Every structure is written in C-alpha cells, then in structure tokens.
Amino acid sequence: MGGLSLILREFNMTSKDLADVLGITRQSLNDWVRGKRNIPSVRLKEMIEFFNLTEEYFLKDEDEYTEVERLEVKKSYLKKTNKLINDPTISPYRFWSNQNEIDRIFALIENKKLLLRIEALISNVGRLGDGDYSIESTNNYYLFEKIEYVLRNESDNTEITNALRELFKDFKVEN
C-alpha cells in the first residue's frame, strides 16, 4: 500500500492529517500505509472522493506508479488547492492560483501518453503500409497527424520534440 504514502507526500499531508479527516486513529492509517491491513471499502471510498483519484492509486505500491500516474496525483493536488485570487495589488484580473501549473502538468501528461502510444506504434511499425483500415490503423493515422503537428510546431512543443528525438535516435527503418 505504498501508494498511499506517495499520495500523502504529494498532498503535503501527514498520516495524522488524513486520519483526522477520516475520523480514524493514526495507527489504523499507518497500518494501511505499511500494508499491514487492507483499507476498508468505506474508507477507500472516502479517500477516493477526498483526493479525487481512482481506487487503483490507493491499492498499488509506490514503485508500481507510472510517470503519468505520478503526474496525475500532482495534478489532483493542484486542483484541490487551487484558489481564486482577487488581489488588485497582484493583478487587475481575478485568476486561479495554480492554473498555470495545472495546465503545464496536463500538457505534460498528454505528451507522456502520446510518447507511450508512439512507442507502442514503433513496436508494430511493419503493419502500417498493409492497407489495414481497422479502428487501430485509423487511430495510428491520427496519431501520426498529431506527431506531425508537434514537430511542425517544435518551438511550442520543445519538451515532447526532444523526447521524440530521444525515442527515435536509435530507430532504423529497413527497406
């Protein structure tokens, strides 16, 4: 249950803080974090609602989290702590305190997902020119359109462009 400790760290919470929110003892919560006891379904539902994460985040170990999942936890924290700022000394307009960072993480998540799809696509590269019109093939076409867009707008997408270059650096197409 190490995933719960990652969630607590990302949310800047102690086990005592969460125990207080759930109305349980800190010892019970620590048993869940250490994997000594399973999280009761009632408490799991409360944590799902409180953290705005799915059940899987609480049931896997921290080392099983993908990079995308770690970013999703961070995004969930930022959304939960996002506050509307209405301070004329900072800006003449109202704005959300964490919105820029939420947008950045959202884009990063989408980029990481795209890279994972590209990696999967590369492993099936021989199937592209076979005249396959299945849903998967059509999705591959749209994926290539997205890659082309990212590369065409390289200056706006430097992080994913660099990741694509790294991904393709050793890739060789044989004729």
> Looking at the structure, do residues 6 and 46 belong to the same domain, yes or no?
yes
Q: Is 96 contained in some domain?
A: yes
Q: Residue 52, by phi and psi: left (phi above 0), alpha (psi -120 to 50) or beta?
A: left
Cα distances (Å, whole numbers) of residue 137 to 40, 78, 84, 93, 99: 43, 36, 44, 46, 36
Q: Which of 24, 62, 66 shows the shortest CA–CA distance to 44?
A: 24
Residue 91, in any domain of the structure = yes
131 and 91 share a domain? yes
Report how far residue 113's alpha carbon sits from residue 108's, in angstroms, rounded to the nearest whole number.
9
Please tell me the predicted confidence (pLDDT) of residue 86.
79
Question: Residue-wise pLDDT tens for the chain (175 aa)?
Answer: 568 889 999 999 998 999 999 999 999 999 988 888 889 999 999 999 999 999 999 888 888 898 899 999 999 998 998 888 777 777 777 767 788 889 889 888 888 888 777 777 666 654 545 555 555 666 766 777 777 778 777 777 788 888 877 777 766 544 3
CB 40 within 8 A of CB 67: no
Q: Are residues 110 and 60 in the same domain?
A: no
pTM metric for this prediction: 0.63
The total of structural domains in the chain comes to 2
In a domain, 29, yes or no: yes
State the pLDDT at residue 173. 47
Neighbours of 33 (CB within 10 A): 20
Instruction: Specify whether 113 is located in the same domain as 148.
Output: yes
Cα–Cα dist 44/60, whole Å:
13
| DSSP secondary structure letter of residue 70 | H
Specify whether 101 is located in the same domain as 148: yes
Within a domain: 48: yes
Domain that holds residue 18: 2-65
Is 110 within a domain? Answer: yes
CATH for 61: 1.10.260.40
